[in-house]
Amino acid sequence: MSKINAIRLPIEQELKDFEPYFRKSLKSDVPLLGTILNFLYRTKGKQLRPMFVFLSAKLHGETNDFSQLAACSVELLHSATLVHDDVVDESYERRGTFSINALWRNKLAVLVGDYILARGLLLQLEHKKYNFLHLISQAVQDMSEGEILQVKKSRKLDIDEETYFEIIRKKTASLIATSMAIGAASVTDDPAIPEKMYRIGQDAGIAFQIKDDIFDYQAKGIIGKPTGNDIREKKITLPLLYVLQNSHDSERKRILRLIKRKNKNAKVIGELIRLVGEKGGIEYATEKMNEFKDKAVSALMEFPDSEARTSLIDLMEYITTRKK
């Protein structure tokens, strides 16, 4: 049995029930929209965020219909942001196939992303789950702010480590944190529990994003994501940021000049990837990633032993040791 399948065991039925629930939420009577949404469903990923929702719920009680609503709300938001991200990043590939904007162009992709986001918000309103609506809306705000901050910094190339962590906390970690919080909120009325799960999810989410940033400096072929993609988009992430912070002024200026002027040159990208490897950028980022993962695991250990707790801890390990 694969590691991810073992992690899913305590919530196997919940995930099985989730499939038709999520698919139904993506339906539309508009033929073209229905076609695009069906394509999106068929190319869905591992659905890690619903796993976080259900495991967090099971850690604090018995999952229920609201847990399904919570998982669907999170996955709809995640799907909408991926569609929009591909437009923002001008990316034409997603999970080994064409992105929606590659097949149907930017205008339709933006509108489809808007539709998916609206579907999630309407579901929460239909069930009068205003606490869910608050959590999801806050995540939308955080993710938007994180993306805008990253765009700004990629233009000026003046990022520091504090800003880097602010970007990934908002852009990526906020949704994993929301997954943990909304899962807990689906089974308990105690506001302190979702708040604690949010903090745990935030640390896990930061670790998750650092792992993604490390991938970009790994040897080509390990993952589907193009090697050096962040450099091409002028995104200075933790591995390269470490090198910049530990380089002499002249070397730092040279690196920034290369990123600014020759960020699409394959030879330059290869040189920067080698530099990050040689100067300890990957090792430093890995160390930071494990610090956040260990913090999340330590907080989970404060809860009573259970299958859900074990799977959550294993999920923390999985997201920091995955190969893609």
Tell me, what's the pLDDT at 139?
Answer: 97
Tell me, what's the pLDDT at 224?
Answer: 45
Q: Which architecture does CATH list for 11-321?
A: Orthogonal Bundle (1.10)
Mean pLDDT of 51-64: 98
pLDDT digits (tens, 9 = 90+) for 60-111: 999 999 999 999 999 999 999 988 888 887 777 777 788 888 888 989 999 9
Tell me, what's the pLDDT at 1?
Answer: 67
Domain ranges of the chain: 11-321
Mean pLDDT of 33-55: 89
Tell me, what's the pLDDT at 219?
Answer: 61
Tell me, what's the pLDDT at 227?
Answer: 67
3-state secondary structure the chain: CCHHHHHHHHHHHHHHHHHHHHHHHCCCCCHHHHHHHHHHHHCCCCCHHHHHHHHHHHHHCCCCHHHHHHHHHHHHHHHHHHHHHHHHCCCCEECCEECHHHHHHHHHHHHHHHHHHHHHHHHHHHCCCHHHHHHHHHHHHHHHHHHHHHHHHHHHCCCCHHHHHHHHHHHHHHHHHHHHHHHHHCCCCCCHHHHHHHHHHHHHHHHHHHHHHHHCCCCCCCCCCCCCHHHHCCCCCHHHHHHHHCCCHHHHHHHHHHHHHCCCCHHHHHHHHHHHHHCCHHHHHHHHHHHHHHHHHHHHCCCCCCHHHHHHHHHHHHHHHCCC
203: pLDDT confidence band, cut at 50, 70 and 90?
very high
Tell me, what's the pLDDT at 222?
Answer: 42
323: pLDDT confidence band, cut at 50, 70 and 90?
confident
265: pLDDT confidence band, cut at 50, 70 and 90?
confident
> In whole numbers, what is the pLDDT of the chain averaged over residues?
92
pLDDT digits (tens, 9 = 90+) for 206-221: 999 999 999 999 764 4
Tell me, what's the pLDDT at 43?
Answer: 82
Tell me: pLDDT of 223 over 60: no
Taking the model in full, what pTM does it have? 0.93
Tell me, what's the pLDDT at 225?
Answer: 43
